[in-house]
Amino acid sequence: MGDRIAYFKKLKVGDFLQGPESIEVEYEAPQYVRSGWAEAPGVVEKAPGGVFRYHLRAALARGHAGSETDRAFMGRKLTLASNLRDELSFGTGYTVLGDLSIVEDDGTDKTTTDGEVAAGDDQTMTIDADLSLAVGDYVLLVSASTHEIVEVETTPTSVTFTGDFANTWADGSTIYRLLYYVPQASAQQVPTITGMEPGTNNASVNLDFIFASAADPVDNL
């Protein structure tokens, strides 16, 4: 059993999520205004908006990915802060919007690519472990410099699939089977990366993020 995790663009949101995310629909309700002559108020209707908000609570844990010194963990916290600032910026495409990707279990839904795959339509990718992919599923490919989400078109074998790739991906690239993703998301709240938990430098917990999007979430559940 692994961890529930999330990515915003190419940034992993902490080491893991402390639980499933909360989903809120924010909208502007109709207004009731008093009438000058009638007993009942009138109703002023307008477009409700309907923005989706996703509340994520993440954590960093010293040694989560293996043995780690206090100094190395401090370095990871600094790196998270720096990378977060980068992803909140315009980046490629000159927009602050990006994909919010949710992975149900990185123990079973994560592997690496077996061989390079060139950018293009109807390309075949081989992976190093069976992710139980089905036609219509979505996968996240991510590296230090870029990411993309690909829909599975066909599954010739349990470790191969075809799809349309915007980027060329090298052998050993990280790939996740997604639970769902949110296109055109923006960060509405980012946390303070806490210093001591409790009285030590072993964890930073309750890192609360809020992401919003006017686009529907995408899934094949």
User: pLDDT digits over 137-161, tens only?
Assistant: 999 999 999 999 999 999 999 999 9
Q: How many residues does the chain have?
A: 221
- Domain locations in the chain as residue ranges: 1-29+47-105+180-221, 110-177
The overall pTM is greater than 0.85:
yes
CB count in 10 Å sphere of residue 42:
11
User: pLDDT digits over 46-101, tens only?
Assistant: 887 889 999 999 999 999 978 999 899 999 999 999 999 999 998 767 789 999 99
How far is residue 94's CA from residue 87's CA, in Å, rounded to a whole number?
Answer: 12
How far is residue 171's CA from residue 141's CA, in Å, rounded to a whole number?
Answer: 12
19: tokens are 């639980």
User: pLDDT digits over 33-49, tens only?
Assistant: 988 788 888 888 888 78
| Inter-residue contact 62 to 203 (CB < 8 Å) | yes
Say which CATH architecture domain 110-177 belongs to: Beta Barrel (2.40)
**Per-position DSSP letters for 122-170, written without gaps between them:** EEEEEBSS-----TT-EEEEE-SS-EEEEE--EEEETTEEEEEESS-B-
Residue position matching structure tokens 């094949």: 220
